[in-house]
Structure 1
Amino acid sequence: MTSVSPSYEEWIEFCFKDGYAWFNGKREVNPKFEIDNPVLVTDYLTRLFENPAFIAQRYDRHEIAEAIWFIFGVGSGYCSDMREPMVPPEKQIKCIHTVGIFYQNLLDKICNRDGTMADVDVTNTDDVDKAVYMIWDMDGLECGAMERKYAYLASPILSVLDSILSLRTSTCLKSALHGLGHIASCHPENVSRIVNDFLHKQNDSPEWLRQYARQARKGVIQ
């Protein structure tokens, strides 16, 4: 490890250009990108999630898809870093809340072929949509609502998942339902309430998505 940390802009470029390939052993990078500072990681994540719109103009869909896998998954471990004891709980909670902004201001705009196929399930055919669908199944964010030692993160996570269910694209909706399905056994009443509200308010959503919501409510999802 090195004591020199990358700037925010350097970190962004690493995440969207090199991170996924580096994790898979296909690229060498400067050791400074192996950040040994969970507070800095949390600050960088929060900054990205709060203001993500530029990503769609700067990077192509393949780069964005790989970066989503890297940032939210075990490739970087950033979501685990964010929950380290040295990171103040208020910073952790703020970071979780900004995930909802990330969905609203970036993912909901680029998913489902930039919204042109909003009701079609493309989570098995489009790299971006596949990655977005899996955000809450990467051994990262969802753990904050599943382990007792992170009990203070459960309510923020449920709130974010609930907020995502008001978005437009079916991939973002399915992604949130996927997350709710994974934490249903830990928070059955809250998950049932959120899914029931979704089914009531989004009564014009496609039947395949409504069926997925019913499965998520029971915790039976893939």
Structure 2
Amino acid sequence: MTTLYQRQLNYLFNRPTTEPLWYWSEHGEEGVFEDEDPLSAFVFIETLLQNPSADLAPYSDNQVALGLEFVFNNSISNLACDFKIAPVPITRKTAALRALFVLFRDVFNPRCAAATSAGTQQTLSKLNGFCYMFWDVCPLSTWLNFSEELYTKKPKEIASAVQQQYKNLDSENSTCYEAIAGVMRQCLSLDNPACVESALHGLGHMALFLPDIAVPIIDGYLKKSGYHNQDLRHYARAARTGMIL
């Protein structure tokens, strides 16, 4: 008997990879994901992160890239946003967040081309492109909710208000940010430069608002003994100031 999780995997990953991309033309989700059900989204992502290498083994790199983008890019689906608001204990939620490292270690690290993406004129592959942009498009990298009213203010007022919120994080949000930063720190030790660059990309954005967390991690990477890819060292120096794209 096919489980709900198996049906969800098939729905997301057993797809054509040609244009137009399937998720732009798909209407309805065939009952595999319930609308407005954050717990269902959480359980799916939590399960996927337990053994993603085996679960995604039947699918091509391009299928994996598009399926993961559907899951984690909140401009395509609400799954990652629903994960954030799921009614589960914070200990369970942060354990699932920390398991994002397994996705990088067991899927991106072996499958992505061993190359960096910053400054290149063309995307190496769909999977490399998504790995590079993961922390840009994934809402799990941001644990503050900003009101719509905030964005009606002047740029300097917006920046000041955002900085103030980051200075007054509650314990739950702080725990989530620490978990995400921990994933990025672990990814800096992977041997595929695509995964290292992705982590530096995420830390570079975090450095703008949580420098006390992000910058020491980047500095630790720069101080490590042994050979570093010079492109990555340059990117790391930019990331510690938040000056990355």
Structure 2: unaligned runs, 5 residues or longer:
146-165
Distance 1:145 1:152 in 2: 12
Which amino acid in 1 is paired with 2:112? C
Per-residue CA deviations over 1:103-148 (Å, capped at 9, x if unaligned) read 1122111111xxxxx3x32573221111111110014121137964
**Residue 63 of structure 1 aligns with which residue?**
63
Per-residue CA deviations over 1:37-76 (Å, capped at 9, x if unaligned) read 2122212211111201124530011111111211110112
Distance 1:202 1:18 in 2: 43
**Residue 126 of structure 2 aligns with which residue?**
127
Distance 1:202 1:51 in 2: 32
Larger Rg: 2
Which amino acid in 2 is paired with 1:179? G
Q: Is contact 1:215–1:221 with CA below 8 Å preserved after alignment? A: yes
C-alpha change, 1:38 and 1:69, in structure 2 (3 Å) is same
- In the alignment, structure 1 residue 196 sits paired with structure 2 residue 219: yes
Q: Is contact 2:201–2:239 with CA below 8 Å preserved after alignment? A: yes
Which amino acid in 2 is paired with 1:121? T
Structure 1: unaligned runs, 5 residues or longer:
1-5, 113-117
- In the alignment, structure 1 residue 141 sits paired with structure 2 residue 137: no
Q: How many residues align?
A: 211
Tell me by how many angstroms 1:35 deviates.
Answer: 4.1
Tell me by how many angstroms 1:176 deviates.
Answer: 0.6
**Residue 156 of structure 2 aligns with which residue?**
none
Cα RMSD, aligned residues only: 2.4
TM-score (norm 1): 0.85
Distance 1:100 1:220 in 2: 24
SS in 2 for 1:80: helix
- In the alignment, structure 1 residue 98 sits paired with structure 2 residue 119: no
Per-residue CA deviations over 1:1-51 (Å, capped at 9, x if unaligned) read xxxxx7011111112135994541245541443443212221221111120
Tell me by how many angstroms 1:178 deviates.
Answer: 0.7
The one of 183, 201, 204 equivalent to 1:178 is 201
User: Greater shift after overlay, 95-104 or 149-158?
Assistant: 149-158
Distance 1:177 1:122 in 2: 12
C-alpha change, 1:154 and 1:99, in structure 2 (3 Å) is same
Distance 1:169 1:161 in 2: 14
- In the alignment, structure 1 residue 209 sits paired with structure 2 residue 232: yes
TM-score (norm 2): 0.77
Distance 1:204 1:16 in 2: 37
C-alpha change, 1:85 and 1:43, in structure 2 (3 Å) is closer
Distance 1:128 1:177 in 2: 17
**Residue 115 of structure 1 aligns with which residue?**
none
Q: Sequence identity of aligned pairs in percent?
A: 25
